[in-house]
Chains A and B, each alone.
Chain A
């Protein structure tokens, strides 16, 4: 099982296991970013992984009874309950001497930023030894594209038909404020970075939180072959920053490490124009969003130099 051990620095493509634990026959949409994230997570963590999945796209796409697309055990649980249920699994394994299993809570952005944030905060505060992944498709996609706390400013959803008036909630920084050993962000367009972060998380004891941006063609209104490109543009424009926070120390990494200088970031329009959800935005709206991005990066700059 050495293949699933942490490698120092970035994992290389040829080092990835060939085994697939996210099986064929799952019910993801064409071009689904989430399905890439699950596949990569399995390649990072290996077969001794137990999923805890609340109501979200992942709960629907992996297992219409009596089938399952997960080759390892999975506990489905109610919407707000992933982190709490995972706490119970971890406690039971600790009590029963099960040591080599990774407990992975795998929730969407609604289940994390909104309804599940209390249980997540509690589990983090208690020092629960687990990985919590929020796959962030920036809306309640499974229920039909409703706005969440993680939906960005301006985005159309079915409950923000004229565009969201508030900015995206920064859950990774909220989790960093819990002073847990490891917080990271990732994006399915950068799979080696994603896998490296998951492997790193696996070797750390205590609560680990990773938020993965997973572009969603039907929800974001872009063609199904543009998933990777859309995620890249999110990172290149600074709309999504790749970083790690280890015991309070923030470090931008991957392509984001070079983007502190504002002139290196692509203008936000390049990201917006490819997605139908932003189509109605006025130039003033675009300016509001651009300013928010710039402010966010000022914050990252301060946090990185701390």
Chain B
């Protein structure tokens, strides 16, 4: 029976891990991720979840243990934040190139120094080129649904890659919302047991991850790239199937809100995307044709979908919760790169906002939109990248 519970984003990630029937969890605590692993520990120790839980001594070991477990044929899960994710970096590369569909909950947190435990995307976006799929959630229900969908997608024989399902520290991680937990048998039907093509099996011996010379290496990297290209096709299919079964879908790669006739499109990821809806409503009430597009998946990047979205609006404004120093916000870069070659491109502006947990309210977003509406009037963007709310 479907149950509606009221709980935090972190606990909901734990519920999703249980609902997915993860068999091995290896994790190390870090703020703001800790309640994820506490919730799982509670499930495992109280017999509410049949899994092995390895309390490792570092995040590097967490990912290494997940790799060992996944290679031995188990469905695996872990969770981390910020410095924990950075410490994993080497093993993120390993998990992806070893083609192991590990699912990780990343509770987004800023990198130090100075120490900052609050949200931005500097941790996960710094892992862009590891081969991991990256999903960004905007509410607790989406955390649950995306983790389940991610297992389905990543274990598909056309993908076989790991994924991080990200949600912002404290904004979602420690905020309670009502979440529907579907009936377990319905989830089991959607997500059958993990059935890997190869494992560490003494009866079918294989060496995994052996030394590889230049004449072979490139092909394996090409296959990883193809896998992510396959994933971009499968994401909306799986989202639709999930929607048919459970009544919720998220628009595949990009969730669009009042985009159809918009002159100005506000693009963002995570909770800024849901906050943007309020700003859009307020601006629409005053007759401005503004829409919000929330990018749910950053890798693989939905180039085609962004290109289609950019056909009608006269301006795209991108709000990034991260800065690639010396360049701009990474989402802004990807959006611009996706549009290269389009006959006509809209005006574009990038905004850096909400680093280190600084609040980004609908009023901030409305302010950004109003600046863009002004740019639209003059037909030119005064300054391509602006930082929002900087102290004078």
Contacts and interface: CB of A to CB of B under 8 A. Distances in A.
A73 B74 contact: no
B65 A91 contact: yes
Contacts of A71: 205
A89 B72 contact: yes
A68 B209 CA distance: 11
B243 to A, nearest CB: 32
Interface in B184-222: 200-202, 205-213, 216
Given A72-B205, A78-B90, A101-B202, A92 B69 contact: yes
Contact of A62 (B58, B91, B207): B207
A32 B66 CA distance: 33
> Among the interface residues B26, B62, B74, which one has the most CB atoms of the partner chain A within 10 A?
B74
A150 interface: no
A18 to B, nearest CB: 19
A14 interface: no
Nearest to B72: A92
Interface stretch (B48-56, B132-140, B296-304, B325-333): B48-56
B246 interface: no
**B contact patch SS:** mixed
Contacts of A40: none
Contacts, number: 161
A78 B57 contact: no
B64 to A, nearest CB: 4
A50 B206 CA distance: 10
A95 B60 contact: no
Contact of A59 (B71, B205, B211): B211
A281 interface: no
Given A60-B211, A81-B91, A96 B67 contact: no
Given A85-B65, A96-B73, A119-B61, A91 B26 contact: yes
B94 interface: yes
A64 B213 contact: yes
Contacts of A216: none
Interface residues of A, number: 46
B165 interface: no
A77 B94 contact: yes
A88 interface: yes
A88 B210 contact: no
A155 interface: no
B293 interface: no
Given A87-B61, A88-B70, 8 more contacts: A47-B202, A64-B211, A84-B62, A87-B64, A92-B23, A95-B74, A96-B23, A118-B57
25 contacts: A60-B211, A62-B207, A66-B216, A68-B206, A75-B68, A75-B208, A76-B209, A81-B61, A81-B64, A84-B68, A87-B26, A88-B65, A88-B70, A88-B72, A91-B52, A92-B52, A92-B68, A92-B71, A95-B24, A95-B74, A96-B74, A98-B72, A119-B58, A122-B58, A126-B56
Interface of B: 23-24, 26, 50-52, 54-58, 60-62, 64-74, 76, 90-91, 94, 200-202, 205-213, 216
Top 7 nearest A-B pairs (CB, nearest first) are A88-B68, A122-B57, A63-B210, A84-B61, A92-B72, A88-B65, A76-B209
